[in-house]
Amino acid sequence: MKSLNLNINRRSFFKKFLYSLISLQFIYVIVRLLKPRTQILNLENYFDAGEISSFEKGKIYPFGTQKLYLHRLKDGGFLAVSSKCTHLGCTIGYNPQKKSFECPCHASAFNTNGEVMSPPATRPLDYYPIVFKDNHILIDINNPQRRSKFNQSQVKYI
């Protein structure tokens, strides 16, 4: 009966171990790249603005504690914009007669979509991502989106 020859020295053992480890890491990276990504919604980071039905079309709703305005567009879409002026960060107010957001510090003005109507502000108001869950509007208040112009894709529809 022949016995197995297990003559392996320390150097060759660690060499094989290292190659195996590198191969496993390489396989892991390839699998992660090929696997479809699913985004998990962490609702703890979202502000519950209320039920969808409680917001009338064509109206703007202030949420002072969250430092944002929620605009329900006439077509039914929603847009959440920051209440901080993009010029120097002063808190803006909404003027319903002029249908504009106005900065009391340096007189910048923004339309209802947050676009600059009069300087010194040079870019639109930041906006916040919106999701709908169980007939509620959830706003990602920890993730303001800086933008260079208004785009229809920033409006969220049910």
The pLDDT tens digits along the chain (158 residues) read 555 556 677 777 778 888 888 888 888 888 777 776 555 566 778 999 999 999 999 999 999 889 999 999 999 999 999 999 999 999 999 999 999 999 999 999 999 999 999 999 999 999 999 999 999 999 999 989 999 999 999 999 98
Query: How would DSSP label each residue in 55-96?
Result: S-TTEEEEEGGGTEEEEE-TTS-EEEEESB-TTT-PBPEEET
pLDDT at 40: 56
> How many residues can be counted in the chain?
158
Alpha carbon distances (Å) from 1 to 4, 7, 8: 10, 18, 21
Nearest to 62 by CA among 87, 108, 89, 96: 96
* Structure tokens, 119: 């300087």
Specify which residues 79 forms β-bridges with. 71
Identity of residue 102: E
In CATH, the architecture of 43-154 is: 3-layer Sandwich (2.102)
